[in-house]
Amino acid sequence: MSTVLIDGIRSWLASRGLDPDEPGLAETPERVARAWDELTAGYDDDPETYLACTFDVERADGMIAVTDVGFTSICEHHLMPFTGTATIAYLPAAEAPVVGLSKLPRLLDTLARRLQVQERLTRQVTDALDTYLKTDGSACVVRAEHGCMTQRGVRKPGAMMVTTSLTGRFLTDDAIRAEFHALGG
**What pTM, to 2 d.p., does this model score?**
0.93
Is 53 annotated in the active site?
no
Is 82 within 8 Å of 75 (Cβ atoms)? yes
Is 172 within 8 Å of 138 (Cβ atoms)? no
For the chain, what is the domain count? Answer: 2
The pLDDT of residue 2 is 81
Among the listed residues 75, 116, 124, 140, the single catalytic one is: 75
Predicted confidence band at 13 (pLDDT cuts at 50, 70, 90)? very high
For residue 161, the surrounding DSSP H or E stretch is strand 161-166
CA 165 to CA 161: how far, in whole Å?
14
The pLDDT of residue 58 is 72
Strand partners, 166: 139
Predicted confidence band at 94 (pLDDT cuts at 50, 70, 90)? confident
CATH of residue 56's domain is 3.30.1130.10
Q: What is the pLDDT of residues 57-72, one digit of tens each?
A: 776 778 999 999 999 9
- Statement to judge: residues 125 and 140 lie in one domain: yes
Among the listed residues 116, 118, 124, 140, the single catalytic one is: 118
Helix residue ranges per DSSP H, 28-173: 28-39, 47-51, 103-112, 118-132, 147-150, 169-172
CA 69 to CA 107: how far, in whole Å?
11
Q: What is the pLDDT of residues 135-160, one digit of tens each?
A: 999 999 999 999 998 988 888 899 99
Is 148 annotated in the active site?
yes
Among the listed residues 77, 95, 119, 151, the single catalytic one is: 77
- Statement to judge: residues 22 and 108 lie in one domain: no
3-state secondary structure of 69: strand
Is 16 within 8 Å of 98 (Cβ atoms)? no
The pLDDT of residue 61 is 76
Is 30 annotated in the active site?
no
- Statement to judge: residues 23 and 66 lie in one domain: no
- Statement to judge: residues 69 and 11 lie in one domain: no
- Statement to judge: residues 7 and 62 lie in one domain: no
Range of the domain at 28: 3-39
- Statement to judge: residues 61 and 20 lie in one domain: no
* Number of H-type helices and E-type strands within the chain: 8, 7
